[in-house]
Amino acid sequence: MARGNGGVIGVNNDPITELITRFTGPGTFTSRPSTGNVGVFVAAGGGGGGSTGVNKAGGGGGGGFILVPALSVGGGTPIPVSIGGGGAGSSTGSDTTFGSAPNPYYLIAKGGGAGGNTPSGPGAPGGSGGGGGGPGPSVGPGGSATQPSQPGNSGTYGSGNVGAGPTSGPGNIGGNGGGGAGAAGTSTGPGGGNYAGGNGGSGADVRPVFGPSQPWYITQNSQDGFFCGGGGGGPQTAYPPTARGDGGKGGGTPHSPFVANPSFPEYNNFSGPVANSGGGGGGGQSGGRTGGPGQVAVIEPGSASGVWSLKSQFSARKSGTWPT
């Protein structure tokens, strides 16, 4: 029974707090009995960078990215989750799934495409496509992006972009960048010299659904909230620092090997695959970088108590902010 508070509007329900459930490995998400709709983020594993004996391979594509603001699941529903791993050098990343077909809440994020090998190998298709491999004068074509063409909500709310390619230029030009969830990879170019590698495309942002800050966001180099960036293409070893083949914002990694230069901005994620980022791996010499594994995050909205004083009810109605 509702307590006396100078007038009661509604029943005396306990408030329900917002809840985020995150998966970095396989499991089962079970919605709360009071849940109707959830916000869902699904990231597939990123593609591996091209892996060859010379340092001019293409960057791997970022894993497919899905962000659904309100997905109807109903209360107390158990939903299986699988997490895709990142692809090793020259290998496409694995898919991540939320639910299973033919359930209407089923989502599938496609693994990122592998970067192209040298000489002039094509980038593979994937959630985002891998970048084409060098060297010039004709760099290989980039891989296509398969995430936007997935059926249902997986395509409607899914993001992916093509890997860069083809380009033409000097015979020692490097590999192209892999596509990211937010932008295509960039093509190679002189960039102050003839040794350039293309940068990976930027990832996409989950903050519109999950808020400005979560402990699982990537923090290095202001990547907070961005995931599924593309890998950088491999330049010639003696490249200038302005033409280095960096990874895209959101977990993409640069080419390998690389040489840090304190006179220029820090590389994105130079230490290796970024855990559960869905980022593509950089093109490499004698072994491309491995893509980052995927993840699933689910947010269940909170609700306020059903008890409101007449004063609170009046103020909320007047301001048009009556809570639910």
Looking at the 3D structure of the chain, how many domains does it have?
1
> What type of residue is 176?
N
Question: Whole-prediction pTM value?
Answer: 0.87
Q: Where do we find the tokens 């995050």? A: 297
Half-sphere exposure of 75 (CA within 13 A, CB side): 4
Of 138, 239, 233, nearest to 191 by C-alpha is: 239
What is the per-residue burial (b if ≥16 Cβ within 10 Å, else e) of 193-205? Answer: bbbbbbbbbbbbb
The CA–CA distances, whole Å, from 219 to 20, 148, 253, 269, 274 equal 19, 27, 14, 10, 11
SS3 311: helix
Q: What is the pLDDT of residue 242?
A: 59
Please provide the DSSP assignment of 239-270 as one string. --TTS--PPPTTT----BS----TTSPPPSST
pLDDT digits (tens, 9 = 90+) for 155-193: 999 999 999 987 656 666 788 999 999 999 988 765 444
Does the pLDDT value for residue 251 go beyond 50?
Answer: yes
Torsion angles phi and psi, residue 209, rounded to 5: -105, -40
pLDDT digits (tens, 9 = 90+) for 289-307: 999 999 999 999 986 555 5
Q: Is residue 322 part of a domain?
A: no
**Range of the structural domain that residue 84 is part of:** 17-302
Q: What is the pLDDT of residue 165?
A: 82
Tokens of 281: 């791996």
Q: Is residue 280 part of a domain?
A: yes
Q: Is residue 194 part of a domain?
A: yes
Q: What is the mean pLDDT of the chain?
A: 85
Q: Is residue 193 part of a domain?
A: yes
Poorest-pLDDT segment among 17-31, 69-83, 139-153, 274-288: 274-288
Instruction: Identify the residue with better confidence: 99 or 5.
Output: 99
The CA–CA distances, whole Å, from 312 to 10, 15, 29, 191, 195 equal 12, 16, 36, 61, 66
First vs last Cα of the chain: how many Å apart? Answer: 20
Q: What is the pLDDT of residue 174?
A: 81
pLDDT digits (tens, 9 = 90+) for 88-116: 999 999 999 999 999 999 999 999 999 99
Of 266, 270, 247, 288, nearest to 134 by C-alpha is: 288
Cα(86)–Cα(281) distance, rounded to whole angstroms? 8
Does the pLDDT value for residue 5 go beyond 70?
Answer: no
CA 276 to chain centre: 9
Q: Is residue 5 part of a domain?
A: no
Q: Is residue 320 part of a domain?
A: no
State the pLDDT confidence band at 250, using cuts at 50, 70 and 90: very high
Q: Is residue 1 part of a domain?
A: no
Q: Is residue 314 part of a domain?
A: no
State the pLDDT confidence band at 256, using cuts at 50, 70 and 90: confident
Torsion angles phi and psi, residue 37, rounded to 5: -115, 150
Cα(137)–Cα(285) distance, rounded to whole angstroms? 19
Poorest-pLDDT segment among 69-83, 136-150, 165-179, 222-236: 165-179
Dihedral in degrees, nearest 10, Cα atoms 202, 208, 210, 214: 60
Please provide the DSSP assignment of 149-186 as one string. GSSTHHHHTEE--PPP---B--TT--PPPPP-SSSPPP
